[in-house]
Chains A and B, each alone.
Chain A
Amino acid sequence: MGGSAILVAGIVVLKLSQVAAPALEKLGLVSYLLGSDWDPVSGSFGALPFVYGTLVTSAVAIALALPVSVGLALFLSEMGPKRLRPVVGFAIETLAAIPSVVYGLWGLFVLVPLLRGTVEPLLGRFLGFLPLFRGPPLGLGFLAAGIILAVMILPTIASVTIEVLKTVPPPLKEGALALGATRWEAIRLAVLPYGRPGIIGAALLGLARALGETMAVTMVIGNSPEIHASLFAPGYTLPAVIANEFAEATSELHTGALAGLALVLFGITLLLSAAARILVRAVARGPAGARA
């Protein structure tokens, strides 16, 4: 089993490596991975700003999408009226079916002006003591990319969480209610602890999607290979720079450096989705003895 995984991964890695090899040899692996300067004109290629941008935008996305998804899933399966379920279920499927480039369009012409005009000035005023919310409100930047990613990974996390909540045995919930728990207390006491591994798995699946997402991010992040602490600042991600520069890369060095970024991205997503699958399977089986 492991052998076959290595086989497929091998073909992908082989193809990427063939393209990337000359550049990595010339630049040196360490200075390539840890370099923070990316300037194709002067032949300087450092991967760090893109890794940073990818991680920061994905972290913002998860921080926003996870609570909303879990809240939505809880409301649908534990709290709200049953009639709401098919309606919201349909809406979530629709969200998942919208192409990335259309999200980008919406982000560029709706979200970015909203951030620039309203949200970022407000955040700067009230939370400006945090380095995260400093600097001029540009609209285009880490925050915009994080929000658009959050919208895009929400269907993944929400639908998996809904499935996870379905696996919570009813007697467990009733046990809490019979002790005199309110509905929310029963959720805290019985539902969430039982579902926790599955919800973490759902979050990791969403995260894996966020890491590889390209078009929408490319359109709203500002495309500037810099490392800033502020979420208002423009940045760049691994997929975005590949999308923007790969077709126009003329030198072997430039193409190779971009393929190297793809290798890094592939490595990160592979690790994450493996972890997510293991967790989701663990919860599908349930804690030992709970169903005996």
Chain B
Amino acid sequence: METARPMSMLVRPPEAAAPAAVAGEAVRSTLAPAPKLVVEHLAAGFGRATVLRDVDLAVPERSILAVIGPSGCGKSTFLRCLNRMHELVPGAWARGKLLLDGDDLNAGDVDPVLLRRRVGMVFQRPNPFPTMSIRDNVAAGLRLNGIAGNHGEIVERCLRQAALWDEVKDRLGASALSLSGGQQQRLCIARALAVEPEVLLMDEPASALDPIATAKVEDLLHELKARYTIVIVTHNMQQAARVSDQTAFFYMGDLIEVGPTDRIFTAPRKQRTEDYVTGKFG
């Protein structure tokens, strides 16, 4: 399965890849999908503190980027910059370009509300709307955007995509809180899928779940990859290795290294990356 993956979808000037690999990658890149999401010179922080410095990376369409690093390395801030949730915190700031299909979403005239329709998010802890039924939770985003028509169909499709349909199809009217933690998290994924985002951000989506529920969410990621571009933050390196195509390693607010997941874990180019993935620290 490792060989089936495109060699590199990394677009990281100037040292994107070793010179020897350039020719081969150029040939493949005509077959590989174009980058969906490109981050250029992204920096972010709170007040005078900088928590993220000069990040450049690109995520190809229909692939999974895993973001790893020790606590406090800026990986969550990075994720929250991608749908501009970061700027909701008083005093928070972010600079740099955030290109989705070439449109700069970090530009001053882009409304974050519109951006968040294109870039969905799943949180660390499941956060379904507690006063709503399962059905209404999934349909909440549709209602917001004034999408009329048969919500039932969309609700079923999203719940199927989130691998939850069979477990809840007989009780769609029940409270979202009647579900288990793992089911709630998949409900939140279904809720995010309903508005048909182009990119899906996941902030340690399995950290609050038990191993069985975690496995279900991981299986789900493989299926979602067929339709969506996914960025997932995880503190679990095995998980990153299992689910992602590319891995980015952050340390102390810097992007240390990004590349194909198997290379990052087997032949990292930076000493720090090697120390981290081999468990010498973190």
Nearest CB of chain A from residue B141's CB, rounded to whole Å: 4
Complex interface bits, A75-94 against B, C-beta within 8 A gives 1, otherwise 0:
00000001000000000000
Q: Does A31 contact B (CB under 8 A)?
A: no
Complex contact A180–B141 (CB within 8 A): yes
Q: Does B96 contact A (CB under 8 A)?
A: no
Collect the chain B residues with CB atoms within 8 Å of residue A171's CB. Answer: 123-125, 127
Q: Does B145 contact A (CB under 8 A)?
A: yes
Query: A289-B177, A290-B177 given. 20 additional CB < 8 A pairs?
Result: A171-B124, A175-B127, A175-B129, A175-B188, A175-B191, A176-B129, A177-B85, A178-B116, A178-B120, A178-B123, A179-B120, A179-B192, A180-B116, A180-B145, A189-B129, A193-B131, A194-B131, A196-B131, A287-B177, A292-B181
How long is the Cα–Cα vector from A190 to B131 in the complex, in angstroms? 9
How long is the Cα–Cα vector from A82 to B91 in the complex, in angstroms? 11
Taking a contact as CB atoms closer than 8 A, the residue among A169, A179, A193 that contacts B116 in the complex is: A179
Complex interface bits, B1-24 against A, C-beta within 8 A gives 1, otherwise 0:
000000000000000000000000
Q: Does A174 contact B (CB under 8 A)?
A: yes
Q: How large is the interface on B (under 10, 10 to 19, 20 to 34, 35 or more residues)?
A: 20 to 34
How long is the Cα–Cα vector from A196 to B129 in the complex, in angstroms? 13
Complex contact B130–A172 (CB within 8 A): yes
Complex contact A180–B117 (CB within 8 A): yes
Q: Among residues 113 to 140 in chain B, which have CB atoms less than 8 Å away from a CB atom of chain A?
A: 113-114, 116-117, 120-121, 123-125, 127-132, 140
Q: Given known contacts A171-B127, A194-B130, is B141 in contact with A179 (CB within 8 Å)?
A: yes
How long is the Cα–Cα vector from A288 to B121 in the complex, in angstroms? 24
Nearest CB of chain A from residue B81's CB, rounded to whole Å: 13
Complex interface bits, A154-182 against B, C-beta within 8 A gives 1, otherwise 0:
00000000000000010110111111111
How long is the Cα–Cα vector from A290 to B85 in the complex, in angstroms? 22
Q: Does B148 contact A (CB under 8 A)?
A: no
Nearest CB of chain A from residue B104's CB, rounded to whole Å: 18
Q: Does A25 contact B (CB under 8 A)?
A: no
Q: Among residues 129 to 186 in chain B, which have CB atoms less than 8 Å away from a CB atom of chain A?
A: 129-132, 140-141, 144-145, 177, 181
- Counting residue pairs across A and B whose Cβ atoms lie within 8 Å, the total is 73
Collect the chain A residues with CB atoms within 8 Å of residue B267's CB. Answer: none
Nearest CB of chain B from residue A284's CB, rounded to whole Å: 15
Nearest CB of chain B from residue A252's CB, rounded to whole Å: 55
How long is the Cα–Cα vector from A289 to B128 in the complex, in angstroms? 11
- Residue total for A at the interface (Cβ-Cβ under 8 A): 24
How long is the Cα–Cα vector from A287 to B178 in the complex, in angstroms? 11
Q: Does A39 contact B (CB under 8 A)?
A: no
Complex contact B123–A175 (CB within 8 A): yes
Collect the chain A residues with CB atoms within 8 Å of residue B123's CB. Answer: 171, 174-175, 178
Q: Given known contacts A171-B127, A174-B127, is B191 in contact with A179 (CB within 8 Å)?
A: yes
User: When A and B form their complex, which 9 residue pairs have the shortest distance between CB atoms, in order from nearest?
Assistant: A180-B117, A178-B121, A193-B131, A179-B141, A171-B127, A175-B127, A180-B116, A287-B130, A289-B177
Q: Given known contacts A174-B123, A177-B116, A287-B131, is B90 in contact with A185 (CB within 8 Å)?
A: no
Nearest CB of chain A from residue B40's CB, rounded to whole Å: 23
How long is the Cα–Cα vector from A290 to B88 in the complex, in angstroms? 22
How long is the Cα–Cα vector from A177 to B188 in the complex, in angstroms? 13
Q: Given known contacts A172-B130, A185-B144, is B114 in contact with A180 (CB within 8 Å)?
A: yes
Chain B residues in the interface with A (C-beta under 8 A): 83, 85, 88, 90, 113-114, 116-117, 120-121, 123-125, 127-132, 140-141, 144-145, 177, 181, 188, 191-192, 195
Q: List 8 A-B contacts (CB under 8 A).
A: A171-B123, A174-B127, A175-B128, A175-B129, A175-B191, A179-B116, A189-B144, A193-B130
Candidate in A178, A181, A194, A292 with the most chain B CB atoms within 10 angstroms = A178
Q: Given known contacts A174-B123, A180-B114, is B130 in contact with A290 (CB within 8 Å)?
A: yes
A181's closest neighbor in chain B, by CB?
A: B144
Complex contact A189–B88 (CB within 8 A): no
How long is the Cα–Cα vector from A179 to B145 in the complex, in angstroms? 9
Nearest CB of chain B from residue A172's CB, rounded to whole Å: 5
Q: Given known contacts A171-B123, A194-B130, is B140 in contact with A179 (CB within 8 Å)?
A: yes
Q: Among residues 236 to 292 in chain A, which have CB atoms less than 8 Å away from a CB atom of chain B?
A: 287-290, 292
Collect the chain B residues with CB atoms within 8 Å of residue A194's CB. Answer: 130-131
How long is the Cα–Cα vector from A194 to B131 in the complex, in angstroms? 7
Complex contact A82–B90 (CB within 8 A): yes
Nearest CB of chain B from residue A41's CB, rounded to whole Å: 57
